[in-house]
Structure 1
Amino acid sequence: MADIERLTITLPTDMAATIKDAVEGGDYASASEVVRAALRDWKLKRALQLQELEALKADIDKGLADVAAGRVKKFDAAKIIARGRKLLADRSTST
């Protein structure tokens, strides 16, 4: 196993109880195992969030470049709202 470092953490009572319940229920062998699993999940979610943020930033940069180059259309809020409602309606009927 990789190098191990011992940490002492403080948790709210309900979080500590959740960890204890997971161990007592047999889902995990120790509280450390629960925390390691939670950290692995958090790292995965965080990496996805960062990827999404980078994609959004790229889209914003592209949009700003379009504006600077004069590639713009007239803003029509009613048309955008109607399109959004149609997309939502299509999504709810396809699931």
Structure 2
Amino acid sequence: MPEVQKVSVALTGEQVAALRAAVDAGEYATTSEIVREAVREWQFRRELRQEDIRRLRQAWDAGKASGAPVPMDFDRLRQEAQQRLNDVRTANEHAG
């Protein structure tokens, strides 16, 4: 287990009451356990956000590298998308 260090965190009275209520209800053994869980969830969300940013940057770079934009016929695009959806639905009906 990694070394445990203490830090001081300022919380509102309402937040402290919520932590203590969770401990009193037996949901957690200590308020520290709740805070550690919250930090783990924050770390996980932060990592996901960083990965999203990385993928977005890759997509941006790929778009820029693909050349100049060309005019697009959105009605034709919509029809092509509808046809692909219909093809997938038909394939699923025959498969299942």
Residue 73 of structure 1 aligns with an amino acid whose one-letter code is: V
Aligned to 2:62: 62
Q: CA RMSD in A?
A: 2.6
Structure 1 alignment gaps of length 5 or more:
91-95
Structure possessing the higher radius of gyration over alpha carbons: 2
2:44 aligned with 1:47, yes or no?
Answer: no
SS at match of 1:73: coil
TM-score, structure 2 normalization: 0.69
Distance 1:75 1:13, change over 3 A: farther
SS at match of 2:53: helix
TM-score, structure 1 normalization: 0.70
2:70 aligned with 1:73, yes or no?
Answer: yes
**How many residues are treated as equivalent by the alignment?**
80
Structure 2 alignment gaps of length 5 or more:
86-96
* Structure 1 residue runs of 4 or more that deviate by more than 4 Å after TM superposition: none
SS at match of 1:41: helix
How many angstroms does 1:58 deviate by?
Answer: 0.5
